[in-house]
Amino acid sequence: MMSSGKLLKPSRLSTAQQSKNEETIDILNEKINNLVKEAERVGMEGAVEKAQGLMKLCDQLKEERESLRRQNSDNHWSQTAELAAAQEKQMEVCTVCGAFLIVGDAQSRIDDHLMGKQHLGYSKLKGAVEELTTSRAQERGVFRMNGGRGSADIAGRSDKERSSSRANESKGRERDRDSERRKRHHEERERERQH
Protein backbone atom coordinates (compact mmCIF):
# COMPACT_ATOMS: atom_id res chain seq x y z
CA MET A 1 0.00 0.00 0.00
CA MET A 2 2.30 2.74 -1.19
CA SER A 3 1.10 6.22 -1.97
CA SER A 4 3.58 8.82 -3.16
CA GLY A 5 6.44 7.09 -1.32
CA LYS A 6 4.71 6.88 2.08
CA LEU A 7 3.13 3.95 3.86
CA LEU A 8 -0.54 4.36 4.55
CA LYS A 9 -1.73 3.68 8.07
CA PRO A 10 -4.32 0.94 8.27
CA SER A 11 -7.69 2.56 8.73
CA ARG A 12 -9.24 2.12 12.13
CA LEU A 13 -12.62 0.49 12.33
CA SER A 14 -15.54 2.58 13.47
CA THR A 15 -17.63 1.41 16.40
CA ALA A 16 -20.46 0.62 13.98
CA GLN A 17 -18.12 -1.51 11.86
CA GLN A 18 -16.86 -3.32 14.95
CA SER A 19 -20.39 -4.15 16.11
CA LYS A 20 -21.28 -5.28 12.57
CA ASN A 21 -18.22 -7.57 12.64
CA GLU A 22 -19.36 -8.96 16.02
CA GLU A 23 -22.82 -9.72 14.60
CA THR A 24 -21.27 -11.41 11.56
CA ILE A 25 -19.03 -13.48 13.86
CA ASP A 26 -22.10 -14.62 15.84
CA ILE A 27 -23.88 -15.61 12.61
CA LEU A 28 -20.77 -17.47 11.41
CA ASN A 29 -20.53 -19.32 14.75
CA GLU A 30 -24.12 -20.49 14.36
CA LYS A 31 -23.54 -21.60 10.74
CA ILE A 32 -20.33 -23.43 11.71
CA ASN A 33 -22.06 -25.30 14.55
CA ASN A 34 -24.96 -26.29 12.26
CA LEU A 35 -22.57 -27.45 9.52
CA VAL A 36 -20.58 -29.58 11.97
CA LYS A 37 -23.78 -31.24 13.23
CA GLU A 38 -24.96 -31.80 9.65
CA ALA A 39 -21.57 -33.26 8.64
CA GLU A 40 -21.70 -35.67 11.59
CA ARG A 41 -25.24 -36.75 10.70
CA VAL A 42 -24.42 -37.24 7.01
CA GLY A 43 -21.22 -39.08 7.88
CA MET A 44 -23.14 -41.49 10.14
CA GLU A 45 -25.50 -42.21 7.26
CA GLY A 46 -22.52 -43.20 5.11
CA ALA A 47 -22.26 -40.17 2.81
CA VAL A 48 -18.60 -39.55 3.61
CA GLU A 49 -17.88 -37.34 0.57
CA LYS A 50 -20.80 -35.05 1.38
CA ALA A 51 -19.60 -34.84 5.01
CA GLN A 52 -16.10 -33.89 3.82
CA GLY A 53 -17.57 -31.18 1.58
CA LEU A 54 -19.52 -29.77 4.53
CA MET A 55 -16.36 -29.76 6.67
CA LYS A 56 -14.44 -27.86 3.94
CA LEU A 57 -17.20 -25.26 3.90
CA CYS A 58 -17.00 -25.17 7.70
CA ASP A 59 -13.23 -24.52 7.51
CA GLN A 60 -13.78 -21.62 5.09
CA LEU A 61 -16.30 -20.07 7.46
CA LYS A 62 -13.84 -20.48 10.36
CA GLU A 63 -11.16 -18.62 8.37
CA GLU A 64 -13.59 -15.79 7.64
CA ARG A 65 -14.55 -15.65 11.34
CA GLU A 66 -10.88 -15.47 12.40
CA SER A 67 -10.24 -12.68 9.89
CA LEU A 68 -13.05 -10.61 11.42
CA ARG A 69 -11.77 -11.32 14.93
CA ARG A 70 -8.26 -10.18 13.94
CA GLN A 71 -9.65 -6.94 12.49
CA ASN A 72 -11.46 -6.16 15.72
CA SER A 73 -8.46 -7.18 17.83
CA ASP A 74 -5.99 -5.12 15.76
CA ASN A 75 -8.27 -2.11 16.06
CA HIS A 76 -8.49 -2.53 19.84
CA TRP A 77 -4.70 -2.72 20.24
CA SER A 78 -4.04 0.25 17.96
CA GLN A 79 -6.48 2.36 20.01
CA THR A 80 -4.80 1.23 23.23
CA ALA A 81 -1.32 2.07 21.86
CA GLU A 82 -2.45 5.53 20.75
CA LEU A 83 -3.93 6.21 24.18
CA ALA A 84 -0.73 5.08 25.92
CA ALA A 85 1.42 7.25 23.64
CA ALA A 86 -0.73 10.29 24.39
CA GLN A 87 -0.35 9.74 28.15
CA GLU A 88 3.38 9.03 28.01
CA LYS A 89 5.72 11.63 29.48
CA GLN A 90 8.60 13.09 27.51
CA MET A 91 11.78 11.24 28.44
CA GLU A 92 15.47 11.68 27.72
CA VAL A 93 18.43 9.38 28.25
CA CYS A 94 21.16 10.33 30.73
CA THR A 95 24.40 10.59 28.74
CA VAL A 96 26.44 9.22 31.65
CA CYS A 97 24.52 6.16 32.85
CA GLY A 98 21.78 5.60 30.26
CA ALA A 99 18.86 5.95 32.69
CA PHE A 100 15.60 7.48 31.47
CA LEU A 101 14.90 10.91 32.94
CA ILE A 102 11.64 12.84 32.72
CA VAL A 103 12.06 16.10 30.80
CA GLY A 104 11.29 19.07 33.04
CA ASP A 105 11.30 16.96 36.21
CA ALA A 106 11.72 18.56 39.64
CA GLN A 107 15.27 19.62 40.46
CA SER A 108 15.30 17.47 43.61
CA ARG A 109 14.65 14.34 41.53
CA ILE A 110 17.40 15.29 39.09
CA ASP A 111 19.78 15.85 42.02
CA ASP A 112 18.78 12.46 43.47
CA HIS A 113 19.61 10.86 40.13
CA LEU A 114 22.97 12.62 39.88
CA MET A 115 23.93 11.43 43.39
CA GLY A 116 22.60 7.90 42.86
CA LYS A 117 24.81 4.79 42.89
CA GLN A 118 24.22 3.91 39.24
CA HIS A 119 25.02 7.39 37.93
CA LEU A 120 28.10 7.81 40.14
CA GLY A 121 29.37 4.33 39.27
CA TYR A 122 29.08 4.92 35.54
CA SER A 123 30.67 8.34 35.98
CA LYS A 124 33.71 6.74 37.67
CA LEU A 125 33.92 4.09 34.96
CA LYS A 126 33.75 6.71 32.24
CA GLY A 127 36.59 8.67 33.91
CA ALA A 128 38.72 5.53 34.25
CA VAL A 129 38.20 4.64 30.59
CA GLU A 130 39.21 8.14 29.55
CA GLU A 131 42.35 7.93 31.72
CA LEU A 132 43.31 4.55 30.24
CA THR A 133 42.67 5.79 26.72
CA THR A 134 44.83 8.85 27.31
CA SER A 135 47.68 6.89 28.92
CA ARG A 136 47.61 4.28 26.14
CA ALA A 137 47.71 7.02 23.52
CA GLN A 138 50.72 8.57 25.30
CA GLU A 139 52.48 5.18 25.48
CA ARG A 140 51.90 4.65 21.77
CA GLY A 141 53.37 8.10 21.15
CA VAL A 142 56.48 7.25 23.24
CA PHE A 143 56.77 3.92 21.43
CA ARG A 144 56.70 5.63 18.04
CA MET A 145 59.10 8.37 19.12
CA ASN A 146 61.68 5.81 20.28
CA GLY A 147 61.75 3.93 17.02
CA GLY A 148 59.59 1.02 18.15
CA ARG A 149 61.08 0.56 21.62
CA GLY A 150 58.52 0.58 24.41
CA SER A 151 58.72 2.36 27.76
CA ALA A 152 60.01 -0.84 29.42
CA ASP A 153 62.98 -0.80 27.04
CA ILE A 154 63.68 2.77 27.98
CA ALA A 155 63.56 1.87 31.67
CA GLY A 156 66.34 -0.63 31.04
CA ARG A 157 64.60 -4.00 30.70
CA SER A 158 65.10 -5.62 27.36
CA ASP A 159 62.80 -8.12 25.68
CA LYS A 160 65.37 -10.80 26.46
CA GLU A 161 65.30 -9.97 30.19
CA ARG A 162 61.49 -9.98 30.29
CA SER A 163 61.39 -13.29 28.43
CA SER A 164 63.96 -14.79 30.80
CA SER A 165 61.97 -13.61 33.80
CA ARG A 166 58.78 -15.21 32.44
CA ALA A 167 60.61 -18.47 31.76
CA ASN A 168 61.95 -18.56 35.33
CA GLU A 169 58.47 -17.98 36.73
CA SER A 170 57.10 -20.79 34.56
CA LYS A 171 59.84 -23.19 35.71
CA GLY A 172 59.13 -22.30 39.32
CA ARG A 173 55.45 -23.16 38.88
CA GLU A 174 56.36 -26.48 37.23
CA ARG A 175 58.67 -27.35 40.16
CA ASP A 176 55.89 -26.58 42.62
CA ARG A 177 53.46 -28.83 40.72
CA ASP A 178 55.99 -31.65 40.51
CA SER A 179 56.68 -31.36 44.22
CA GLU A 180 52.93 -31.51 44.96
CA ARG A 181 52.51 -34.60 42.75
CA ARG A 182 55.40 -36.41 44.46
CA LYS A 183 53.99 -35.54 47.87
CA ARG A 184 50.50 -36.86 46.97
CA HIS A 185 51.99 -40.01 45.43
CA HIS A 186 54.06 -40.64 48.58
CA GLU A 187 50.99 -40.14 50.82
CA GLU A 188 48.95 -42.59 48.71
CA ARG A 189 51.66 -45.24 48.97
CA GLU A 190 51.81 -44.76 52.75
CA ARG A 191 48.03 -45.27 53.01
CA GLU A 192 48.24 -48.44 50.88
CA ARG A 193 50.95 -49.87 53.14
CA GLN A 194 48.86 -49.25 56.24
CA HIS A 195 45.88 -51.19 54.86
Contact 21, 87 (CB under 8 A): no
Residues 111 and 148 in one domain: yes
Q: How far is it, in rounded angstroms, from Cα 61 to Cα 79?
A: 28
Q: How many CB atoms lie within 10 A of CB 89?
A: 9
Q: Are residues 75 and 107 in the same domain?
A: no
Has residue 1 been placed in a domain?
no
User: Is 100 found in the same domain as 55?
Assistant: no
Q: What is the pTM of this model?
A: 0.34
- Residue 30 located in a structural domain: yes
Total domains in the fold of the chain? 2
In which band, very low, low, confident or very high, does the pLDDT at 190 lie, cut at 50, 70 and 90? Answer: confident
**Which one of 56, 87, 118 terminates a domain?**
87
pLDDT band at 92 (very low <50, low <70, confident <90, very high): confident
| One domain, residues 74 and 22 | yes
Residue scoring higher pLDDT (109 or 10) = 109
Shared domain check, 116 and 144:
yes
One-letter-per-residue 3-state SS of 107-155: HHHHHHHHCCHHHHHHHHHHHHHHHHHHHHHHHHHHHHHCCCCCHHHHC
In angstroms, the CA 17 to CA 14 distance is 5
Domain final position from 30, 61, 87: 87
- 2 found inside a domain: no
Residue 133 lies in a domain: yes
How many H helices and E strands in the chain?
6, 4
One domain, residues 19 and 83? yes
pLDDT tens across 111-163, in order? 999 999 999 999 999 999 999 999 999 888 877 777 665 555 555 556 666 66
Q: 77 and 106: one domain?
A: no
Residue-number span of the structural domain to which 132 is assigned? 90-161
In a domain, 59, yes or no: yes
Q: Which of 63, 87, 111 is the last residue of a domain?
A: 87
194: in domain: no
Residue 92's φ and ψ, nearest 5 degrees, are: -135, 160
Q: Are residues 72 and 106 in the same domain?
A: no
Q: Are residues 55 and 114 in the same domain?
A: no
Q: Is the pLDDT of residue 176 over 50?
A: yes
For residues 71 and 118, membership in a common domain is answered with: no
Within this chain, do residues 131 and 117 fall inside the same structural domain, yes or no?
A: yes
Residues 94 and 83 placed together within one structural domain of the fold: no
Per the DSSP assignment, residues forming a β-bridge with 3 are 6
Other CB atoms within a 10 A radius of the CB of residue 39 amount to 21
Q: Could you give the percent of the chain with pLDDT greater than 70?
A: 75
Phi and psi at 169, nearest 5°, equal -60, -40
